[in-house]
Amino acid sequence: MRIEAHSVTRIFGSTRAVDAVSFVIDRPMMVGVIGSSGAGKSTLLRIFNRLTDPSEGSLRVDGRDVLRLRGAERRSWQADCAMIFQQFNLVPRLDVVSNVLHGLLNKRSLATSLLNLWPKSDIERAVQILDRLGIAEQAAKRAEALSGGQQQRVAIARALMQDPRVILADEPIASLDPMNAQIVMDTLRRIHDEDGRTVIANLHTLDTARHYCDRIIGMRKGRVVFDGTPEQLTTGVARDIYGAGASFTEATTSTAIETDATGDADYAARLLVD
Ligand SMILES: Nc1ncnc2c1ncn2[C@@H]1O[C@H](COP(=O)(O)OP(=O)(O)OP(=O)(O)O)[C@@H](O)[C@H]1O
């Protein structure tokens, strides 16, 4: 899979949230996107998944510009690149298996979901995926009864149900304690290593990006200011990405962790409508 972003731009009023972003990902890999709050990381992922329209630019995936797709082709691309979010974005009162099955809403009729008439093969696959992620025993519980780390693994299972080529993760561990953060990052890495899926994750800590990613893209004020390997991401480079002065220490790189889940709600709504 070859992904070529060329001059991708999104302007909101007078803000260039994403400003002429270009990069090439020429093979499946795990990519971390870092940068301060407001650097444009979420907007970039949302453009990728077609949740947000770009103002300019192209994103060629194996030669086809996915930013120009309409209707069924656009939905098919959205099924090919699943998203996961900081706030997990599950339906809290629904059981875990039903949440995972929602990953198929692009491919099955709304009636199937509303009447809970999923084919047995779909249910079996959902349980297999949960088993793979080590949470099959939670399958019958309501999503809201699970810990944050377990809920994020359910969200990853829902993403895998789509059988996507790319997984986009927007601050996937920002709401989790360190132990659960590690389990979730290990899971994302495994999905890349074992399935060959590309994973692109917005991350708010440098050490996580360095530890898990093959490549790191640093954004500042909408622009890509770094694109390289973990080894190339020195403290000096990190200082430039975060725009920090001499007082910069690596521990201060976390972006504000807010619980505004508006974007997540958009995604949930889209899954239910399409
Ligand atoms: N729907 C919108 N309307 C207006 N401005 C927006 C919108 N979405 C994002 N922005 C602005 O675009 C800029 C980039 O925001 P974005 O959320 O992409 O940054 P981010 O790097 O993901 O930040 P964070 O880490 O805080 O999530 C910010 O200045 C933000 O206020």
The count of domains in the chain is 1
Q: What is the ipTM of this complex?
A: 0.96
CATH number for position 19: 3.40.50.300
pLDDT of residue 82: 95
Element (H, E) at 112: helix 110-114
Q: Which pTM does this prediction carry?
A: 0.89
pLDDT of residue 257: 39
Distance CA 123, CA 127 (A): 6
Q: Which two tokens stand for residue 254?
A: 């976390």
pLDDT of residue 107: 74
Nearest atom in ligand 1 to the alpha carbon of residue 43 is 18
Q: Which residue's CA is the nearest one to ligand 1's atom 11?
A: 17
- Across the beta sheet with 64-65, the strand order is 15-25, 3-12, 56-61, 64-65
32 close to 216: Cβ distance less than 8 angstroms:
yes
Q: Which residue's CA is the nearest one to ligand 1's atom 13?
A: 17
pLDDT in tens, 229-250: 999 999 889 988 998 765 666 6
pLDDT of residue 252: 53
Average confidence (pLDDT) per 10 residues, the chain, 274 residues = 97 97 97 95 97 97 96 92 93 95 80 76 95 95 96 96 96 94 96 97 94 97 96 91 73 46 50 45
Host domain of residue 65: 3-273
Q: Which residue's CA is the nearest one to ligand 1's atom 25?
A: 37
Nearest atom in ligand 1 to the alpha carbon of residue 42 is 22
Q: Is 271 in the pocket of ligand 1 (CB under 6 A)?
A: no
Which residues neighbour 227 within 8 Å (Cβ) at sequence distance 6 or greater? 23, 215, 216, 217, 218
Distance CA 74, CA 65 (A): 11
- Across the beta sheet with 223-228, the strand order is 81-85, 166-170, 198-202, 30-34, 215-220, 223-228
Q: Is 263 in the pocket of ligand 1 (CB under 6 A)?
A: no
Handedness of CA 213, 216, 217, 218 (dihedral sign): positive
Distance, CA 41 to ligand 1 centroid (Å)? 8
Distance CA 123, CA 34 (A): 36
Q: Which residue's CA is the nearest one to ligand 1's atom 8?
A: 43
pLDDT of residue 256: 37
pLDDT in tens, 65-105: 999 999 999 999 999 999 999 999 999 999 999 999 998 87
Distance CA 48, CA 265 (A): 17
